[in-house]
Structure 1
């Protein structure tokens, strides 16, 4: 079982919560949870936890089949206790993983947003697949439990109609009290108390399975909404990033144009300066030419 793994996983989560940081990976050197490597370490740890959930689901399948085939009451009780233990362990791990996945949602403040976005989407989808696999297992087990209950009712009361049996089974699946099932069985005064107890036990197990299925359905929908919201936020961020890039490109183009204009202006200034200088020089030459003959004539 994964009780130790779950305890270790939860201890890390509690420590991280107390420090207001995300949990560091187990058996790994400390790393900054805000860094890319710290984020990848957490993704790796979540993948290990999801793998542990899948292992539990595989064991649950085998235990369920053994339980349905068990004829001895003591063996059924032992297998039922193991099933309850594995279910509780698996559900606790699922809740812990859900909380951890939600705690590492990528945000715009992360410079490595692209890496985080892809890794977050991958681990979320893997987790959702695991939830759906577990939910499918519980649904199938509920059907098999209902079939067992139908057979027990038929044995206890051969006169029970199909509609009456269906009503008793639906009563169990909807989570209602087993009033109708008990009344149905008590129609036969020779009905054994043991069979009635077995039907009641089946009723409780089916009811518990129905609650588990509803919880898993809600959890799957919550994760789906989280992933959809995350995708929407990231798409908005990407669109904003594209707008920023476009504005920067436009700004760069405008700066380029300004530089070109500035260079042209400077070139024109130098041309004008050259023209003025040439005019000044010509004027000086003309004056010199006019003044020199006059000086010679005076002499």
Structure 2
């Protein structure tokens, strides 16, 4: 029953084109449909688990419990995979909105992502409600089991025994019960149901965490976007420094060229002085 859900894991910082994004949306919807379809069989597994302890002689309790545990583990894996896909889609939406080149495309992506998110929230809500209903049915069954071994128990005593989650309370009641024939069956049923309750509490806590993560994805800045902003700022600073260096280089080049002209002028002046001196000396010698 385990389903491998493809994850949208990208390292590039360029948003997907709209057709590629819609392809990811279709993959998400397919995975969500698989999750929802499997979820429809969960109440049947609950019924079998409850029936196995209502009639312990059937001997199918452990097998049903194993199938139920495997189903819940698979649901947990699928829901986490769906959450990861949704966050990757949201990342792409944020990048597209930041790019800002096509507002229509950004709005279309956000609309599709929002519908996917709502679909996942609805499916997780259904999973959560199914587990809560099963938890209530377990409590009702434990109440009946306690009444079997302690018919004189008050409603408060029964409620306290069930709410405590302690098998020791049931064990003590079994030891003092005059219905030893059903005591062992009740003890096994109680142990199995307490394990189910622990598993349900864990599943509900994981679902609560998933709901929180989905909401956080809306308000928290995506690390990829933060990285882009950081790199963008660095690039802007690098460009600014480059412009400054270029301006400094231009000024230096202009200064160097000016100095070259000055040096050339000095050399020409010296040469002119030398030529004049030679001419004067020559003329003086001729007159002598």
Is contact 1:154-1:160 (8 Å) kept? yes
Task: Identify the residue that residue 199 of structure 2 maps to in structure 1.
Answer: 208
Partners of 1:21 and 1:75 in 2: CA distance: 52
Query: For 1:35, which of 17, 20, 36 is the aligned residue?
Result: 17
Of structures 1 and 2, the one scoring higher in RCO (CA 8 A, sep 6+) is 2
Partners of 1:74 and 1:180 in 2: CA distance: 25
Q: Are positions 1:179 and 2:172 aligned together? A: no
Is contact 2:161-2:170 (8 Å) kept? yes
Partners of 1:181 and 1:197 in 2: CA distance: 11
Is contact 2:149-2:173 (8 Å) kept? no
User: Any stretches of 5+ residues in structure 1 without a counterpart?
Assistant: 23-31, 234-299
Task: Identify the residue that residue 107 of structure 2 maps to in structure 1.
Answer: 114
Normalization by structure 2: what TM-score?
Answer: 0.65
CA deviation string 1:12-67 (max 9, x = no partner): 43xx64x6369xxxxxxxxx971111111111111111111111110111221233
Normalization by structure 1: what TM-score?
Answer: 0.63
- Count of aligned pairs: 209
CA deviation string 1:146-187 (max 9, x = no partner): 111111111122122221211121122xxxx43333333333
Alpha-carbon deviation of 1:145?
1.0
Is contact 2:138-2:193 (8 Å) kept? yes
Partners of 1:204 and 1:167 in 2: CA distance: 18
Is contact 2:49-2:61 (8 Å) kept? yes
The alignment yields a C-alpha RMSD, in angstroms, of: 2.5
User: Any stretches of 5+ residues in structure 2 without a counterpart?
Assistant: 223-288
Partners of 2:12 and 2:46 in 1: CA distance: 40
Task: Identify the residue that residue 217 of structure 1 maps to in structure 2.
Answer: 208
**Secondary structure at the counterpart of residue 60 of structure 2:** helix
Matches within 5 A, 1:1-299: 1=1, 3=2, 6-7=3-4, 9=5, 12-13=6-7, 17=9, 20=11, 34-70=16-52, 71=55, 72-105=57-90, 106-107=93-94, 108-110=97-99, 111=102, 112-172=105-165, 177-188=166-177, 190-191=179-180, 192-227=183-218, 229=219
Alpha-carbon deviation of 1:87?
1.0
Partners of 1:145 and 1:152 in 2: CA distance: 10
Alpha-carbon deviation of 1:189?
6.0
Alpha-carbon deviation of 1:73?
4.0
**Secondary structure at the counterpart of residue 109 of structure 1:** helix
Is contact 1:145-1:202 (8 Å) kept? yes
Is contact 1:160-1:184 (8 Å) kept? no
Distance verdict in 2 for CA 1:33–1:84, change over 3 Å: farther
